[in-house]
Chain A
Amino acid sequence: NAGVMQNPRHLVRRRGQEARLRCSPMKGHSHVYWYRQLPEEGLKFMVYLQKENIIDESGMPKERFSAEFPKEGPSILRIQQVVRGDSAAYFCASSQDRVYEQYFGPGTRLTVT
């Protein structure tokens, strides 16, 4: 059973460009979570999604950030008009049900130049 897959592993964008981060949950998992890890800090929750629904987006910045988890295909975290402060590691996690533990992907390290 493959683990949580994230791609790309590393992403470089210039200021003002768009970044798209993809996450494929573990087989059989229908809950996806996105977290951001800034240097020297722990992980901060961004958004929790189920298929075609956003359940909790209380950690998402109000502008430029959006997330989706379509019926088919991976979950996408989209950052428009990136700024240097968006440089971070973005982790996706999935779970079988909301009460079960979350399994993390290897992360996408975004660098904004």
Chain B
Amino acid sequence: AQSVTQLGSHVSVSEGALVLLRCNYSSSVPPYLFWYVQYPNQGLQLLLKYTSAATLVKGINGFEAEFKKSETSFHLTKPSAHMSDAAEYFCAVKRTGANSKLTFGKGITLSVRP
């Protein structure tokens, strides 16, 4: 079975500050890992994905994440927050085998203060 833990439900940063959103996973087989962003009343947009190539993954809008197998983590970072980054962020895991469903964490709401 797979699971994702996103500690805390809300993170608040100042504009221009570092964004760090934590994600830890549990998987019995090597996983694929994803970060999605959801703006109010919209669907999910893929930010970035890890599919067993480079452990440091760069995504859209200046976000990146690093896969650390020893820590079972896939934390999302951005050096400098913008007001437009305010949204909900979901980490998700997927098995690389036949079962193709995504298992999501509960999500983290990011607020950006002026």
Contacts and interface: CB of A to CB of B under 8 A. Distances in A.
Contact of A42 (B41, B42, B43, B90): B90
A42 B101 contact: no
Nearest to B99: A56
A25 interface: no
The A interface, classified by DSSP as helix, strand, loop or mixed, is strand
Q: What are the 9 closest A-B residue pairs judged by CB atoms, nearest first?
A: A98-B100, A42-B104, A104-B43, A45-B101, A104-B44, A106-B43, A42-B106, A43-B104, A42-B107
Nearest to A59: B101
Nearest to B107: A42
Interface residues of B, number: 23
Interface of A: 4, 6, 31, 33, 35, 40-45, 48, 55-56, 58-59, 91, 93, 95, 98-99, 101-107, 109
